[in-house]
Amino acid sequence: MNPTILVNRRAALRGFFRRPVRAAATVALVVALGGCGAYDYAADVFSKPLVLPCPKSWVVADAANLTQFREGTGRDLIDIDYDGEITGIELGCVTNADKKTLVGTMDVEVQILVNATRGPANRDRKGKFGYFVSVTDKDLKVLYREAFSLAVDFPGNRTRLLVRSRPVTLQIPIQPKKSSDYFRVFAGFTLSHEQLEFNRKRQQNVPK
């Protein structure tokens, strides 16, 4: 997979969208109390719901780190404003599909975990990490991508924090031949060309 595509490309799939707010719904159920037909209907409604596994998820290797230098040409350790590493993705999934036809949707709540570090050049005790969430099919064709922002405040003398992003809820279509395992969820920092090259050079210098 080419991680640069996920960093720079944006695409959308009809019927595939983000649900920014999860609303509570109240459902009124009226069942006529007469005959076995009503009993069968009630039993079907209150039976165990369909639960599908969450899609698989990965952090894009080239976009797992973000190093922000202070303004100027300095690129030494003392010039780092703040630095971040995505250490994981957390998914929470709710299936809304018919048990017989396997047609419906799945709400996928996505959060990223970031190790944030305040650098020697940081004066305002703040950091701001742009990141993206991308969804592909099993062949890694990008179906959806959206950019988000994670603001971090370093309290007191704290220089390292483990932070969790706000949840983002996506809704993916479920079909018999395209269930939740058909999709892949990726996350990474939104990087400039310089930051991307910095990450690649750093990976080349890591001892194997």
pLDDT of residue 202: 82
Query: What residues does each domain of the chain span?
Result: 3-20+27-204
Chain centroid offset of residue 32 CA: 44
d(CA 156, CA 164): 19
- What was the pLDDT predicted at 191? 96
DSSP state of 103: -
* Residues comprising the chain, all counted: 208
- For 27, residues 6+ apart whose C-beta sits below 8 A from its C-beta are none
Amino acid 149: pLDDT: 96
Spell out, as residue ranges, where the chain has pLDDT lower than 50.
Answer: 1-15, 20-43, 45
Model pLDDT, residue 204: 79
Enclosing H/E stretch for 108: strand 104-118
**Alpha carbon distance 67, 79 (integer Å):** 10
Q: Is the pTM of this model over 0.85?
A: no
Q: What Å distances lie between residue 38 and 46, 108, 149, CA to CA? A: 12, 34, 51
- The token duo for 153 is 């405040």
CA distance 175 to 112: 27
